[in-house]
Amino acid sequence: MPSNARAGSLKDPEVAELFFKDDPEKLFVDLREIGHGSFGAVYFARDIRNNEVVAIKKMSYSGKQSNEKWQDIIKEVKFLQKLRHPNTIEYKGCYLREHTAWLVMEYCLGSASDLLEVHKKPLQEVEIAAITHGALQGLAYLHSHNMIHRDVKAGNILLTEPGQVKLGDFGSASIIAPANSFVGTPYWMAPEVILAMDEGQYDGKVDVWSLGITCIELAERKPPLFNMNAMSALYHIAQNDSPLLQSSHWSEYFRNFVDSCLQKIPQDRPTSDVLLKHRFLLRERPQTVIMDLIQRTKDAVRELDNLQYRKMKKILFQEAQNGPNAEAPEEEEEVEQFLHRTGTINSMESSHSVPSMSISASSQSSSVNSLADASDDDDGAEIAMMQEGEHTVTSNSSVIHRLPGHDNLYDDPYQPEMEPQSSSSAARRRAYCRNRDHFATIRTASLVTRQIQEHEQDSALRDQMSGYKRMRRQHQKQLLALENKLRAELDEHQLRLDKELEAHRNNFSCRGRETGQEASGYL
Buried b (16+ CB within 10 A) or exposed e, 226-260: beeebeebbeebbeeebbebeeeebeebbbebbeb
Inform me whether the pLDDT recorded for 445 exceeds 70: no
Inform me whether the pLDDT recorded for 292 exceeds 80: yes
Inform me whether the pLDDT recorded for 107 exceeds 90: yes
Inform me whether the pLDDT recorded for 243 exceeds 90: yes
pLDDT on residue 363: 36
pLDDT on residue 274: 96
Inform me whether the pLDDT recorded for 255 exceeds 80: yes
**Residue 400 CB burial class (10 angstroms; 0-12, 13-18, ≥19):** buried
How many of the other CB atoms lie within 10 Å of CB of 335? 19
**Distance of alpha carbon 483 from alpha carbon 314, whole angstroms:** 66
Contact 165, 218 (CB under 8 A): no
11 marked as binding residue: no
pLDDT on residue 329: 52
Across 124-128, 411-415, 484-488, 496-500, least confident range: 411-415
Q: What does the pLDDT average to over 290-303?
A: 89
Residue 313: pLDDT band (50, 70, 90) is confident
Which tops the pLDDT comparison, 97 or 132? 132
In 3-state terms, what secondary structure has residue 119? helix
- Type and span of the H or E element at 44: strand 40-47
> Are β-strands 91-97 and 52-60 bridged in parallel, bridged antiparallel, or unpaired?
unpaired
pLDDT on residue 310: 75
Which tops the pLDDT comparison, 128 or 413? 128
**Distance of alpha carbon 365 from alpha carbon 155, whole angstroms:** 8
Inform me whether the pLDDT recorded for 437 exceeds 50: no
**Distance of alpha carbon 370 from alpha carbon 49, whole angstroms:** 26
Contact 353, 454 (CB under 8 A): yes
Across 75-89, 202-216, 245-259, 401-415, least confident range: 401-415
Inform me whether the pLDDT recorded for 282 exceeds 70: yes
DSSP for 311-326, please give it: HHHHHHHHHHHH-TT-
402-411: pLDDT as tens digits: 333 333 323 3
**Residue 412 a catalytic site member:** no
Tell me if the bond preceding 243 is cis, omega within 30° of 0. no
Q: Average model confidence (pLDDT) for the chain? A: 77
Inform me whether the pLDDT recorded for 178 exceeds 60: yes
Q: What does the pLDDT average to over 89-118?
A: 92
In 3-state terms, what secondary structure has residue 158? strand
Catalytic residue among 151, 169, 207, 412: 151
pLDDT on residue 405: 36
pLDDT on residue 225: 94
Residue 127: pLDDT band (50, 70, 90) is very high
Q: What does the pLDDT average to over 171-199?
A: 86
Residue 177: pLDDT band (50, 70, 90) is confident
pLDDT on residue 455: 65
Which tops the pLDDT comparison, 314 or 106? 106
Q: What does the pLDDT average to over 168-196?
A: 89
pLDDT on residue 146: 93
pLDDT on residue 197: 65
Across 110-119, 350-359, 390-399, 421-430, least confident range: 390-399
Q: Which amino acid is at 10?
A: L
Q: What contacts 518, CB < 8 A, 6 or more positions away?
A: none
**Distance of alpha carbon 410 from alpha carbon 436, whole angstroms:** 10
Residue 145: pLDDT band (50, 70, 90) is very high
Nearest by Cα to 96 from 204, 20, 163, 26: 20
Contact 304, 446 (CB under 8 A): yes
Q: What contacts 148, CB < 8 A, 6 or more positions away?
A: 142, 173, 174, 177, 179, 202, 203, 204, 206, 207
pLDDT on residue 399: 33
Inform me whether the pLDDT recorded for 382 exceeds 50: no
Helical segments of 85-195, H only: 112-119, 125-144, 191-194
Looking at the chain, the whole-number percentage of residues with pLDDT higher than 70 is: 68
Across 110-119, 124-133, 381-390, least confident range: 381-390
> Are β-strands 28-37 and 40-47 bridged in parallel, bridged antiparallel, or unpaired?
antiparallel
**Distance of alpha carbon 353 from alpha carbon 157, whole angstroms:** 13
**Distance of alpha carbon 461 from alpha carbon 357, whole angstroms:** 14
Q: What does the pLDDT average to over 327-356?
A: 50
